[in-house]
Amino acid sequence: MPSMRAVRYHGPGDVRVEEIEEPRCGVGEVKIRPAFVGICGSDLHEYFHGPLTIPRAKIPITLGHEFSGTITEIGAGVTLAKVGDRVAVKPNLVDGGCVACLRGWSNCCRNLGFVGFSGDAGGMSDFVVVREEQAILLPAGFALDLGALVEPLTVAWHAVNRCSLRDARTVLVVGGGPIGLAVLLVLKARRVETVVVAEISVQRRELARTLGATCVIDPQTEDVNSKVRGMTMGMGADVAFECSGAQAGLDTAVTGIRERGTVTIVSLFVERPSVNALGVVLGEKSVMGAVIYEDGDFEAVIEAIWSGKLDPKALITSKIRMEDIVERGFQALVKGKDQHVKILVDIAA
């Protein structure tokens, strides 16, 4: 097999572009030439604090789980995928046999893994092999840079599906990073009347406004709770999404909703926060979690983008070469946090 480039994780602060052997396409698998690969907050966690979800025994591992590409080869037994198909990759790896999987909740699989974290491959490489069912077909002509945004958008899509929006007129999104902005886009696609975004960065507040937020609030200078109450005749938001990963954000979400309202936690907390349990009890509030996506979410997001209901293009703040992954990727996302939302690695550049 010829060799190829791959972005490989060797440990915290140690990510290298290396030449490794090109993967073989086995039974039921497809080989993909990745086009664009997004850098996720979880990649950053691994780079700066890891290995967290990457199994030590698997290191070095090729990174990249948010990606689009074109199928270049199909393995024996592949029935639907064809060479030349544009695809977005559904990267989660499930065991299919644990009690969560057997109940149909494979997104909560007790042995959940990911291409780009725990599998033998990742999208930040010249070629990657995945199972046929992980390659979700994009319509011909679907922009491949937007294809790399499908995975993070499905996380927001699922989070919005988890809570009932039936009577929700006012929704509070706490945190305007990549996840919060994706939730905002999905809420707008679902025609939620009023979406309030609380975010400390001025650039991200501006972007939230551009993406359709009804109102943006700086929680450092304004009281989110009283502002939301002022907009809802004293009631509070019907639903909140916690997308900041910070204690203050969770507090804001819990106090910002009305009685019997729901907070859905989407962010990944590194440190364990506390919850105002008395406030939850006295207001009969619900606090729940949402993780990754379910069957059908990729197709739903692709349809929403293709039909124009969801336009995530503004989330892309730069495109870089594979060789610049550390400087213009990981470092830029930390040092230039306010300037960036989603940085894509352009594999062909």
Residues that bind Zn ion (CB under 5 A): 94-95, 98, 101, 109
Q: Which is nearer to Zn ion, 98 or 248 (CB)?
A: 98
With H, G, I as helix, E, B as strand and everything else as coil, classify residue 100.
Answer: helix
Residue 302 CB, nearest approach to Zn ion (Å): 25
Cβ distance to Zn ion smaller for residue 98 or 235: 98
Shortest spacing between CB 65 and Zn ion, in angstroms? 18
Of residues 71 and 109, the one with the C-beta less far from Zn ion:
109
In the numeric block, the tokens 């780079």 are attached to: 47
Nearer to Zn ion, 115 or 310 (CB): 115
Q: How many CB atoms lie within 10 A of CB 123?
A: 30
Q: How far apart are CA 46 and CA 179, in angstroms?
A: 17
Q: How far is the CB of 130 from Zn ion (least distance, A)?
A: 18
Up-side HSE of residue 128: CA atoms within 13 Å toward CB?
Answer: 36
Least CB distance to Zn ion at residue 268 (A): 19
Going by C-alpha positions, the residue among 297, 346, 294, 285 that lies closest to residue 319 is 346
Q: How far is the CB of 91 from Zn ion (least distance, A)?
A: 15
Which ranges of 211-339 does DSSP label H, i.e. alpha helix?
224-231, 247-256, 277-282, 297-306, 332-335
Q: How many alpha carbons fall within 13 Å on the CB side of residue 39?
A: 32
Q: Which is nearer to Zn ion, 107 or 170 (CB)?
A: 107
